Amino acid sequence: MNAPAAPLIPTERQIEDLVAAFYARIRTHPTLGPIFERVIGPDWSAHLKTMCDFWSSVMLTSGRYKGRPIPAHVRIHGIEPRHFTEWLTLFEATARELFAPDLAQSFVEKARRIAESLKLGFAFHSKTPHIWANLPLRTIPISTVKAG
């Protein structure tokens, strides 16, 4: 019997590339872009650094990220269940375009777990938890996502 292959570990540079490419797409996305722009403002450098720290902690267990993502996201006005699907679809497409299949899949699996955690956090803190609890977290074909 063959042992399962160990998940591929990205480099810090690969994490930076993914974060830069993904958030460039977010900025031009017709529904996600305005939400992020309203919260982050015109200078995204601090947010991109935080996201690099976050993904370094997730993928490399570096411990660089010290934030609390659920409270930070629950406070944002205007987030709807469909935004999670759009976010995940863009993230998966970006990872799959940048990396070999095994490395892309490592990122995608983590992103799906993160989306599930955020979904549960929203359900817990929402006045309409049934909307969040029933949200299927599956991606949609990237061809159906409008580019900005």
pLDDT grade for 139, boundaries at 50, 70 and 90: very low
Residue count (the chain): 148
Residue recorded with tokens 């993914």: 18
Q: What is the pLDDT of residues 99-125, one digit of tens each?
A: 999 999 999 999 999 988 887 777 776
- Number of structural domains (the chain) is 1
Task: Report residue 134's pLDDT band, with 50, 70 and 90 as the boundaries.
Answer: low
pLDDT at 7 over 70: no
> Is the per-residue pLDDT at 25 higher than 80?
yes
Mean pLDDT confidence for 85-111: 95
When the pLDDT of each residue in the chain is averaged and rounded to a whole number, the result is: 84
pLDDT tens column, 36-54: 999 999 999 999 999 999 9
User: For residues 143, 119, 135 and 99, what is the CA-based torsion angle, rounded to 10 degrees?
Assistant: 30
**Considering the domain boundaries, does residue 5 fall inside one?**
no
Asked if residue 127 is part of any domain, the answer here is yes
Within-domain flag for 2: no
Q: What is the CATH number of the domain that holds 113?
A: 1.10.490.10
Where in the sequence is the domain holding 104, given as residue range(s)?
12-58+70-144
What distance in Å separates the CA atoms of residue 61 and residue 26, rounded to the nearest whole number? Answer: 25
* 56 in Cβ contact with 12 (< 8 Å): yes
Higher pLDDT, 79 or 54: 54
Between these two residues, 106 and 3, which has the higher pLDDT value?
106
Structure tokens at 99: 């990396």
Q: Tell me, yes or no, whether 91 lies in a domain.
A: yes
Residue 63 lies in a domain: no
Residue 125's pLDDT is what? 65
Predicted local distance difference test score (pLDDT) of residue 47: 96
With respect to residue 80, please indicate whether it lies within any of the assigned structural domains: yes
Whether 76 is covered by a domain: the verdict is yes
Residue 69 pLDDT level (bands cut at 50, 70, 90) = confident
Q: How far is CA 87 from CA 56, 61, 62, 127, in A?
A: 19, 23, 24, 22
